[in-house]
Amino acid sequence: MAEFQIEKREVSEVDIISLHGFLDAHTAPQLESVFTSLIDNSKYKIVIDFQNLKYISSAGLGVFMAFIETIRENSGDIKLSAMQPNVFEIFDLLGFPMLYEIFDTTEEAINKFITN
């Protein structure tokens, strides 16, 4: 099974989720649990840090689509940051840049929440 790890931290009421390794059908439920926990705790300002994510499958992409509507209905958003070129290509190919704000750095994504 592919290696996958999630780290969580909070900055100014923004939850930063750092992904490490490989996000696929086997590891996607771990990320689903994180989103479910955030929503259960009324935390809707979320930045995903992709800096250390090496691979994402369609199952991994599906996790983001599964939760975005609920988060936006609660005046929140999911902002994506620090993607490796191979990961960005997958998001770009499927039109995600039209649906999500994607930032070069996690700090830029955090600041977008703080300044709005």
Question: Where along the chain do its domains lie?
Answer: 4-115
3-8-14 Cα angle (round to 5): 140
Q: What is the pTM of this model?
A: 0.95
In CATH terms, 4-115 corresponds, of 3.40.30.10, 3.30.750.24, 1.20.120.1200, 3.40.50.300, to: 3.30.750.24
Give the residues across from 23 on adjacent strands. 56
Whether 60 and 87 have beta carbons less than 8 Å apart is answered as no
| Residue 73: per-residue pLDDT | 97
Count Cβ atoms within 10 A of the Cβ of residue 12 and give its class: 0-12 exposed, 13-18 middle, 19 or more buried: exposed
| pLDDT tens, position by position, 3-25 | 999 999 999 999 999 999 999 99
Spacing of C-alpha 8 from chain mean position? 11
- Averaged pLDDT for residues 55-65: 94
